Amino acid sequence: MAKVIFIGFDSDKDGLYHAPKGEPIVRLAKDNGIPINFECQDGDCASCLIKYENIEDEEPTNYIEDKELEKLVELGVLKTKDAEHCQQFTISPKVRLACQTLVKGDVIIKPFLQ
């Protein structure tokens, strides 16, 4: 099980949750009433942008789909060279589309505020 800490979404719902590795964040958030705005759930609308911070000693392997990385670059929240770094080392960027994110290890998740 991994620790997933939601901060900044809702004072009643924020806190520590446990989820099996591989669990979609969308399921964890919906099951626990975390108010993340999931409109398309397909990586297209960007309504679900989050800050994603690994808190394990080592960065877990995290394969990110090209479509998500391209969307993050298109939105201007991730630089092309950082996207390439994430691909090369199979690690997560610090900004994600929550609907495309799986639990891979202990993380802190916050709303992405531009």
> Which lies closer to ligand FES via its Cβ, residue 17 or residue 112?
112
User: Least distance to ligand FES from the beta carbon of 58, Å?
Assistant: 27
95-97 and 107-111: which strand pairing? Answer: unpaired
Residue 103: other Cβ atoms inside 10 A: 23
User: What's the CA gap between 48 and 34, in Å, rounded?
Assistant: 12
User: Least distance to ligand FES from the beta carbon of 112, Å?
Assistant: 11
> Which lies closer to ligand FES via its Cβ, residue 46 or residue 95?
46
User: Least distance to ligand FES from the beta carbon of 24, Å?
Assistant: 11
DSSP secondary structure of 33-88: T-----SSSSSSS-TTEEEEEE-SSSPPP----HHHHHHHHHHTSS-HHHHHHHHH
Across-strand partners of 84? none
> Which lies closer to ligand FES via its Cβ, residue 31 or residue 44?
44
User: Least distance to ligand FES from the beta carbon of 57, Å?
Assistant: 29
- Closest residue (Cβ) to ligand FES? 99
Q: Which residues bind ligand FES (CB under 6 A)?
A: 38-41, 43-48, 97, 99
